[in-house]
Structure 1
Amino acid sequence: MKKRKQMVKRLLSRALPAMIALSLAGCGGRTAKTAGASVKEQAEAGALGNKIVNIGVTSSLNTLNPLLMDGVEINKYATGLMFLPLIELDKDMNFEPMLADSIQAEDERNFLVHIDDRASWSDGTPVTADDVVYTALRLCSPVVANTAMMYYVFEGVGDDGFVEAGADHISGITKVDNKTVRFTTKAPMSLITFQNSYARYLMTLPKHVIENISEEELTSNPWFNRPDVVSGPYQVTEFDRDHFVSYEANRNYWRGAPRIDRLNIKIVEGSQLYAGLKSGEIDITQNTMSAIPLEDYESIQSLEHVRTSFGAPITNLSVFVKTEHITDPRVRQAMVYAIDRQQLLQQLLKGSGEVVDGFLSSASPYFDPSLQPLPYAPEKAKALIAESGWDTSRTIKFCIDSGDSAFVNAASVIAAQWAAAGIKADIQTMDINTLMSRAGSGDFDVLAVQYTYPPVDPYADMAWLLGGEGSWTGYESQEVRDALAKVQLSADREELRKLYSVVDRRVQEDVPMFSAYVIKSLAAVNKRLTGAEPSVYGFFNHVEQWDMAQ
């Protein structure tokens, strides 16, 4: 149970970046203190030969300390500019080497990580296996107390995710040679899960610097807000967690000095993105960190100096059904047949998305296009309700996120269509924190929230959400359990596609959850910025190649 709670905490922080971005949009509007160059400053900088790029985001930033990583997307991106992850996904959702040049599975429990021989810190010191091992040891420190990283899966780490106080090593994370680290798990794990859940989130720190900082100071030492030794392309010059992060280029970056001299992440309200893009004070937005309001899509798309694109459909408006409360699968099927999901997509999202059943969208390499979503069939919904003997006088609790304005409108339509089929629903809107508390306590009949299932490795989310008693749905299936057990050990994409299809087809049949729609979000980039293209994944992988046309 302890492990499950840790997994839930991490999933909620790591697998819901779009939800978090929406709930925190507007936390920091533009103020006199906000970093980022104005048009006049850009011109002055250009006269001096400096190139400045401003990235507009609507997510609030919590930390730049790799030891405090919780998986929230903007924290990961902003920190990864300084301290490279071992590996990252590229725009096509393939794993791309970053600090490591290879990761290999020796067997089902041992993974070898080889650090790129060229990798060096900005002070010229080589990045070594000692840096990786030491960073992992500090991530498992009970003093640092980071529960989100879930390192309990490795040998030598307690079930609480920590080593013993004062420990000087981890038996499951060891140096093989100067550039190679072996990670050993307690239980079998697929290479894909190791890469996606651990290698992408381990941002190595320089041991020769942080070993001089006491454990008690590792969470608060000001060095982490302006580190002078980094492995990535940029280092911070100024940081205001509610408004901006300003970076300068690391001229000693081992993959090549960045062409952009200064980079600013500007935290603004969604309503400010259009004005910033129009004036040139914002050069680029990203699909999931920058929540452009739907009402501004057409205006931004009409800007002649801006290129726009839609990201991959990865954010699922998932509707979870508490199966202990709504026990008959015919009723749950009726709930889907009763909703005109294509109408919701067209009218509320202007067609920016897709309708699927189950967990996987077309963005996933395991998506099964032969699994057609249940159609809008109101008469079939009525027939299923009558057949099930559902008490049409009963009212179900339908809990939704008040911060998701599009779905607040959608929920009213859904409730009306359910009512027409014979299901009464009381819509209860609440802030995201309250909604997550309801999800954990099970105090709902139906709950809807934006949820991003990692396209390359949705295993952990599926296993949790379909994990029987204690999960959000309370649903359990032997067929699903067997399929996911095989998923956990496989790295073959074709086999994984078949196994995930088994899960999605069973979910479509029993409906412990369904997708109202999957969102494709808009992003934009000023045409003067070259080498930079917004993407859901891999946004900063080659940021050193970004350039500004003169």
Structure 2
Amino acid sequence: MHGNSRMRSLLGLLIGIALILSACGKLSFSANTSVTAKTINIGVTYSPNAITPLSPIGQVSSYIAGLMYLPLFELDEDLAFKPMLADSITTTDHKVFTIYLNPAAKWSDGSPITADDVIFTLKLITNKQISSTYAYMFAIIEGVDSAGFLPDGQSEIAGVNKVDEHTLTIQTKAPTTLTIMRDTIGRYLLTLPKAALENEPLTAIKNGDFVQKSAVISGPYHLDSYERDQLVQMKANTAYFKGTPKISRLNFKVVQGRELADQLESGDIDLNIPSYGAIPIEDYGRIKSLSNVTAEDRPSITTQFMYINKWELPDVKQRQAISYAINREQIVNELLRGAGEPVDGLFTSYSPYLDPSIKPAGYDPQKAKSLLAESGWTPGTKLTLSVLSGDSTLEQAAHLIADQLKEVGVHADIQMVKLAPLIHKIVERDYDLGMMTVSMSLVNPLPDVAYFLQEGNPNGYSNPEVDKLLSSLKSETDEADIKQSYSRLQQIVAEEVPLLSVYATRSLGVVNNKIAGASPKDYGMFIHVEDWDVLP
């Protein structure tokens, strides 16, 4: 895999991507807030950056962009796809997919949302001049290249055709599951208004100038003001085709995690987004005891992965030994205080593809020592453990792991590294061991799994059977066969340990008891935001 492609794939996996600096400065809009307007304040710990529906940077930016421009479908916490702008997507051969738009869908100016708008947006995303960070997800469409862009000199997408005002078809290069179609094009195509934007310069569209104006939207909220690293204010779209939101103003307030408990108790923040308004584990007990809020543990969607450079640890017994040396249960019980789960493999318990029959490595320091001895390891040999900085829990976990490795004869020197240089180290394989937080797609994990395991991966790992399995998954449409392939991949990872995982943290979702209809979730939180209300 080309270095730039590896870096783009890794960025897509990282929770920490929200920390990337944006070119956006302070954006100001007129805001005539009525003192009687119903307002909800959402606490987030990651600052939204580049709030444009073609290339939002970070998940908080994606939430905000999706409130202005609806996706075709959204994924809820039960991992079911819910219709937003589309009513359905169907296929009979897994190559030609028919998208039926909601005929009642309208822009905020009252004009209908049509297939022309969808096709217009597809052309923008696949235009190299736009350089959308989402383009690679559209590479499955016939007529675009492997990066998801139209070839030079072409303006039409061969695999996209309009059927009527509310129907279009998309043809893929190879057989594709309905799940993948919904999870890529369905979730990441945020349709834009052709009539309002077709005469705008591409540079202005790329920069997101139209978002700042908030003139014509499809979603429940307009962007009203944005002060970077501090506050995003949104105001209700009174012409929202699913119904005028009951909440007049929706604010995203950027705070430090340690500030969330105080502001939830005082009512300055009404609710959080569990993984992106991340509450420190040490505050879980206090928040759960508050009388003015309801707090619930949410499923684990992020995992702490350890990259292992095969060129530094070529013997599989050495990599197995590292896995056996780590006491995952201790980390979860003592450091996370039970707010998480040990993970040994590609998937957490939240994934529908986890094979529970595969026995995890478990904590066995004696076995680790034996495996190292069999490999010819010299006790006390030093390795560098590069760890993503900015996460105090991860840093503490790294120190525990270093102590545990030392007990079996591996001396790991911890090096705390910021996101960008750590990405560079991993992509260039300039590391021994590396730890960072990863968010892997739940319903369509193939791009993420392929990044970790296929030829050109940052671990230096190679296995012809793995390459064959990944290749077959790209065109497999039978769900039973897909699960079987993922099961075999999990077996291989358990045996050969090209990389390992340590733990997944359960985030805490909190909502003020005066708020009705809102439930803090990482998936599907805003599907019915128009029904949220503030109780008298």
Question: What is aligned with 1:12?
Answer: 10
Structure 2 vs 1, CA of residues 110 and 434 (structure 1 numbering), >3 Å: closer, same or farther? same
The amino acid that maps onto 1:75 is S
CA distance in 1: counterparts of 2:522 and 2:51, whole angstroms = 21
Superposed, 1:288-303 pairs within 5 Å as 288-303=275-290
Whether the 8 Å contact between 1:331 and 1:385 is mirrored in structure 2 is yes
**3-state SS of 2:437 partner:** strand
Please state how far the C-alpha of 1:297 moved relative to its aligned partner: 1.6
Of the candidates 378, 381, 387, which is equivalent to residue 391 of structure 1? 378
Q: Distance in 2 between matches of 1:484 and 1:190?
A: 15
**Other-structure match for 2:65:** 79
The DSSP-based 3-state class of the residue aligned with 2:54 is: helix
Alignment of 1:167-316 (within 5 A): 167-220=154-207, 222-316=209-303
Q: CA deviation at 1:542?
A: 0.9
- Give the CA deviation at 1:417: 1.4
Change (3 A) 1:10 1:36: farther
Structure 1 residues 397-424: Cα deviation after superposition (integer angstroms, max 9, x where no partner): 2111121211211112211211211222
**Which amino acid in structure 1 is aligned with residue 422 of structure 2?**
L
Q: Is 1:467 aligned with 2:464? A: no
From the superposition, tell whether residues 277 and 462 of structure 1 become closer, same or farther in structure 2 (CA, over 3 Å): same
Indicate the larger mover: 98-107 or 540-549. Answer: 98-107
The aligned amino acid for 1:90 is: D
User: Which residue of the other structure, out of 466, 479, 492, is the alignment partner of 2:465?
Assistant: 479
Aligned mates of 1:471, 1:36 — CA distance in 2: 48
What residue is the counterpart of 1:88 in the other structure? 74
Retained in 1: the 8 A contact 2:139–2:148? Answer: yes
Shift of 1:220: 3.2
Decide whether aligned partners of structure 1 residues 173 and 69 sit closer, same or farther in structure 2, where only a CA change above 3 A counts.
farther
The residue matched to 2:475 in structure 1 has which SS?
coil
More deviation, 140-149/382-391: 140-149
Letter in 1 for 2:144: V
Offset at residue 500 of structure 1 (A) = 1.4
Partners of 2:175 and 2:476 within 8 A in 1: no
1:141 aligns with 2:127: yes
2:498 to 501, 507, 512: 512
* Structure 2 residue aligned with 1:501: 487
For 2:360, the equivalent position in structure 1 comes to: 373
2:369 to 382, 400, 404: 382
Task: Give the Cα separation in 2 of the matches to 1:310 and 1:360.
Answer: 19
Tell me whether 1:530 sits opposite 2:532 in the alignment: no
Q: Give the counterpart letter for 2:358 in structure 1.
A: L
**Structure 2 letter corresponding to 1:105:** T
Q: Is the 8 A contact 1:467 1:474 kept in 2?
A: no
SS of aligned partner of 2:188:
coil
SS of aligned partner of 1:247: strand
Q: Could you tell me whether the CA contact under 8 Å between 1:67 and 1:219 is conserved in 2?
A: yes
Label 1:516 to 1:160 Cα distance change in 2 as closer, same or farther (>3 A).
closer
**Is 1:333 paired with 2:355?**
no
Gaps of 5+ in 2: none
Question: Partner of 1:69 in structure 2?
Answer: 56
Structure 1 portions without partners, runs of 5+: none
> Sequence identity, in percent?
38
Deviation at 1:167, TM superposition (A): 4.4
Q: Which moved more, 1:309-318 or 1:479-488?
A: 479-488
CA 1:267–1:36 in structure 2 vs 1: closer, same or farther (change >3 Å)?
A: farther
SS at match of 1:68: coil
- Is residue 270–residue 512 contact of structure 2 (8 Å, CA) maintained in 1? yes
* Count of aligned residue pairs for this structure pair: 531
- Normalising by structure 2, report the TM-score: 0.93
Q: Distance in 2 between matches of 1:212 and 1:158?
A: 26
Cα deviation for residue 308 of structure 1 reads 0.6
Compared CA separation, residues 147 and 539, structure 1 to 2 (3 A): closer
